[in-house]
Amino acid sequence: MHNLHDEFERSMMKVAKTWKRAAAALLAALMVSATMSACGGDSNTSESSASGAGSDTSGTSSTTETSETSSTDTGEVVTLKVWGFTNASPDTNEMNAVADAVNELTRDTIGVEIELTRSFDYETLNLALTSGEKLDLVQTHSYSPGLATMVTSGYVQPIDDLLSEYGQDILEIVPEGYLKVGKVNGQQYGTPDLKDTARSAGFAMRSDVLDELGIDPETITTWEDVHDVLVQVRDNYPDLYPLVPSWSSGGMQEVLTYDALTVPNNLAVLEDVFTDSTEVVCLYETDGYREFCERMYQWNQEGLIMPDATTTTDNNLMASVGFADYENIKPGKELEIKKAWNIDCDLIQLNEPYTYTNQIIGDLWVIPTVCENPDKAMQLLNMMYSDAELSNTLINGVEGRHWEWANEEKTLIKAPEGVDQASSGYESLDWAWPNCRITPVWEGGEEDQWDQLQEFCDAAHESVALGFVFDTTPVMNQITACGNVVNEYNVALRWGELNPDEAIPEFIDALKSAGVDDIVAECQSQLDAYLAENG
């Protein structure tokens, strides 16, 4: 991994060169425009071009005026609407400030300005897609039905030709094995974030509580150890819930090491990626799922779990009422938690890292079908992967407002004095943007954090199905019916609200009546064909 400062300087040199080309094109366009005016050209066209090229970016209304223009070599500026993901409720003023800073980098370089929206709500994104709302670049994390559904529903467009023409940096930066998870039926529809492409399950536990209890986190290595710690928290901290959801409505980072071949309901999976078995099964019929539900039912009976875990609307329980939650363990996770919740946590890792398709495919960037300027959308996306300053702005916000340099080498950043990053209105969420690995690290982290993350991902065990994307079209009716059944049982079982001895048999019977065996059989057939072709 190159030094981040060097990477930044190279990116700025690249921007400068591109700016010179854009400036030359703009000058040529203005000369042509002047000639047309002298020859009796339409003055309205000239005024429109001037307005587009020199529009004020201080507010949303000014950038909206250019949204109807098309991108050409005349120097006109196109406004693209970018939909990003966030865990926290975003502040519109802060998003606009970031968009203005982005526009300073992209306007003269690629002829693009952006309007920025960030959300964690699947329903809002789904409504935007189904209604045909103007969207130009979308991060898919909050779209839980997944890429294949986006494709079959006609929401997104293929990008093979766009990548070839305008996405050369993406093709160079993103490993081919990762790019293939953005394919459906042989066509490329999305590009994955360069983030933690591997995962390892475990818990985050508040460091101050562990210290007060005299517990060394390195001694917590098994489920039994975790149980004993939660009991001590229950007995000594009546104002804390020992275990809380990772996000609202019973959200839970996964702890079972299966490969989810169907999104989002895990109706067809490879039960354990570490065995390299290619047998497709229904997750809810496995011993691993039953044993996990039994453990959670016991913990619930013992008062170790937040009582309204499945109904809470709070996404930040660890910042207020929780001691521990399920987390995806990776290098830099402690710093990520510190930024989000302003607390220190120790991480308890329960298994070795592994990589599977949905760890990557869950965070793709796609170009919706309604995008009127897909060439410019791809140019922007390409720059988001390759330009260090642009990536840093989108991830961390505006210098002096959301962050400032923490060292002379410009490899570390920190919150400005008087600014609490956790409540700044613009969440720094590195994994939700195309390429965090070319950005500086927050103070408190290690300067080689991105090297550590790469080593973590390189060491992960790869699922034999990596790259396989299930085409759900042949069994869509069954998936819908089974999804309703999953919604009725799964979250309540996972948080110990239902007795698994009684509920799991009912759950499985209902799934079979809804057609889960058809889903498993279809998925097995498609996986076998995929492995035969790619094995």
Starting at the edge strand found earlier in the chain, the sheet holding 345-349 runs 241-243, 322-328, 201-206, 345-349
Alpha carbon dihedral 110, 116, 119, 123, in 10-degree steps, equals: -80
Taking the model in full, what pTM does it have? 0.74
The whole-angstrom separation of Cα 123 and Cα 134 is: 16
Residue 80 and residue 132 in contact, taking contact as beta carbons nearer than 8 Å: no
Taking only the tens place, the pLDDT of each residue in 20-36 is: 334 434 333 333 333 33
Strands 241-243 and 322-328: parallel
pLDDT digits 0-9 by tens, 216-229: 999 999 999 999 99
| H or E stretch at 82 | strand 78-85
Tokens at residue 489, please? Answer: 């049982």
Tens digit of pLDDT at every position of the chain (535 positions): 434 344 434 444 443 434 333 443 433 333 333 333 333 333 333 332 232 333 333 333 333 333 333 444 557 899 999 999 998 888 999 999 999 999 999 999 999 999 999 998 888 898 999 999 999 999 998 777 788 889 989 999 999 999 999 999 999 999 888 898 898 888 999 999 998 888 899 999 999 999 999 999 999 999 999 999 999 999 999 999 999 999 999 999 989 999 998 766 899 999 999 999 999 999 999 999 999 999 999 999 999 999 999 999 998 899 999 999 999 999 999 998 998 888 999 999 999 999 888 777 778 999 999 999 999 999 999 999 999 999 999 999 999 999 999 999 999 999 999 998 778 899 999 999 999 999 999 998 899 999 999 999 999 999 999 888 888 889 989 999 999 999 999 999 999 999 999 999 999 999 999 999 999 999 999 999 999 998 6
The answer to whether 90 and 82 have CB atoms below 8 angstroms apart is no
What residue type is 365 in one-letter code? W
- Nearest Cα to 429, choosing from 332, 503, 320? 332
Structure tokens belonging to residue 290:
């039953």
Residues 137, 84 contacting (CB under 8 angstroms): no
Provide the CB-side half-sphere exposure for 441 (13 A, CA).
Answer: 20
What angle separates helix 92-110 from helix 374-386, to the nearest 10 degrees?
100
